[in-house]
Structure 1
Amino acid sequence: MNLEMFTCCFFQISSTPTMQINKTIQKEFILVGFSVYPDIQAFIFVVFLCLYLFTFMGNMTIMGLTWVDTALQTPMYLFLSALSFSETCYTMSIIPKMLADLLAKNRSISIVGCGLQMCFFLGLGGTNCLILTAMGYDHFLAICNPLRYPLLMTNIVCGKLVASAWAGGFFISVIQTALIFKGVFCNPNLVKHFFCHMQAVVKLSCLDSDFTEFIVTVLSVSGLLGTFLLISLTYIFILSTVLRIPSAEGKQKAFSTCASHLTVVIIHFGFPSIVYLKPEASWGDDTLIAIPYTVITPFLSPLIFTLRNKEMKNAFKKLLGKLVVLDK
C-alpha cells in the first residue's frame, strides 16, 4: 500500500509541470484578419484606404469649418465637431494597423499593443455613443424648449457634456480591458479578426473565460441599449412637440434639423447591435460583420452631416471663396 501511494503521488506531482509546459504563455497575438481571402487582399487594401482617406478628410473639414467660421461656433456644431474628432481617433486606432497587415506577412501584435488598441477602440466607441446622446438632448432642448434653449445649452454646458462623454466612454473601456487582460493567454494565439476585438481575444485566455465574457457583454449591451433608449426617449418628446406645430413649414424645419442626427444614430447603433446581440455560439469570427461599424459608418457620418446641412455647406463655400481670393 505504501508503494502504491508513493507511485500515485509521484505521478500527480510530475504531471503538473507537463500540463504547464503544454500551455505556453503568449507574449503576442497573430491577427488573422483577411488572410483567409489572399486573392483579394490588394483590392481590399485599395478600397479601405480610399474610405479611410475620405473619412479623415471629411472629419477634418467639419472640425476646420467649425474652428474658422464663427457662425458655426454654437453647441449644435461644437457637438458635431467633437463627434468628428472622436470618430477620427476611433478609425485611427484600427484602420492603419489593418491596412499595414493587408500588405505584411507578419501580422503580429504585442499583448500590450493589443490591450491599448482594445481600450481605445472601446473607449472611443463608447464616447461616440454618448456624444450622439448629448446631440439628441441638444435637439430636444432646441425644439421642445426653444425660449430657454440659449440659457440651458451654452458652449460651456456643451463642453462639459463632451468631457463627460469621454470620461464615461473610457471608464467602461478600462474596466472591460482590465477584465480581459487580467490573466495570461495560451496557445493558439490566433485572433480571428483584423483588430483586437474583445470577443475574439477573451477566447484565448488560459483561465475560464465564461464569467469574463458575461461581464464584458453585459457592459457592452448596457452601454449600447442605455444610450439608444435615451436617444429614443428624446425623440419621442421631439415628435410629440413637432406634431403640435400648426404650420407645415415649421414641422418640416424641425424634422430637417433632426434628420441627419437620427440617420447617423440608426446606422451607428444598428451594426454593433448585430455583433453584441447575436447568439453566443457565433462569437469570435466577426471579421466581415465588423466592417460596417469600423469602416463604413465612420465614412458615412461626415457625409450625412455635411450634405444635409445648409449652414455647413455655406461655410464651406465661404471658405473656398476666401481661398480663391487669396490665391489671386
Structure 2
Amino acid sequence: MPVTVLYAHGDDPGRTATAKALSDAGLDVREAVTLDEAVETLAATPVDCVATAYDLPDGNGLELCSTLRETTPDTPCILFTDVAASEIDTTAFEGLVAEYLPSGTANADERLQELIDELVTRRSQVGYPLPDDEDARLAALEQYEVAGQSAQDTLDRLTELASRHFDVHRAFVGVVGVHEERFLSCQGPDLDPLAREKTMCTHAILEPDVLVVEDTRQDARFEHNDALERLDIRAYAGAPLRGSDGAAIGSFCLTDDEPRSFSEAEIAYLRLLADEAAEQLDLRRQLRAAQTEGEDG
C-alpha cells in the first residue's frame, strides 16, 4: 500500500511540480491550497505524513502541524519552505515538533521524498505504543530535565522511603524520553538508561492510574523482554508522574525479583509518592523559570 502524503502549498506551479515528483516516487499525494482545505483533508483522509509550506493563503504551516498533532500526534510533519528558519515565528507553537527542510535548494523535491520515506519508516518501526499526546508530553518533559537534577536529594529520600516501606528489590523514579528511559533516582541495584521498547514505564505512562504486573512472565507484553530478565524484574508497580499540564513524563516505580501482588493500600501509598515526586519536580521547574525570567528582565 503506498504512503499517503498531504502536501499543502498555495503556489499552483510550485505545488504541482512537487506533488508530481512525489507521485513519480510512488507516493499517494493529496494536494491542498489553503490551510482550511488541508484541515478538511486531514479530517476526511488518514495520511502517513504531512508536508507544508510555511506561508499559506489563510494561515501558515505551523498551524497545520498543530492541528495534525491534536488528532494524530505521531504522524510526521515537515515544514517544506523557502522561508529561512530564523524568520519563522514559533512563539504561539511552543513545544511543537516538526521537521524543517528548505525548499529552495538543489534537488529539494528528491530530498523531501527521502525525508518522508525515512520518517514514515521510522514511525512504522517503533516497537512500543505511543501516548496520544506524545508531542505535548515530550515538550513538557524538556521543562523538567534540569528540575530533575536539582531535585536529586528529594527524590532519593522518596525512593529510599519506598524501598523500605514496600520491601522491594528496587524503587526508582524514571522519565521516558523519545527513545529511552532515564533514571533520576534509584534505590537498589543501579539502572542505566534503558531503551524505550525494553522498559515497562513505556506502558505505565499510557495508564490513567497505577500499572501493576504481578508476574512479568505471565504478561504477554513483557514475557519475552530480555532486559527484565537481566534486571531481575518479575513484579512491577508504576504510578505516572504527571506534569502541571497533566502529561505523564515518567513513573515512580517498584520492582521485585519475585512475583508479588500489591494491596489497595500499597497502591494508594505509591500514588502519594508519585504525586510528591511530581510536585517537587514542578516546584523546581517554576523556580528555574522565575530565575530565568529575572535574568532576562
What's the TM-score, normalizing by structure 2?
0.30
**Which has the greater radius of gyration?**
1
More strand by share: 2
More helix by share: 1
What's the TM-score, normalizing by structure 1?
0.27
Greater relative contact order, per chain length (Cα 8 Å cut-off, separation 6+): 1
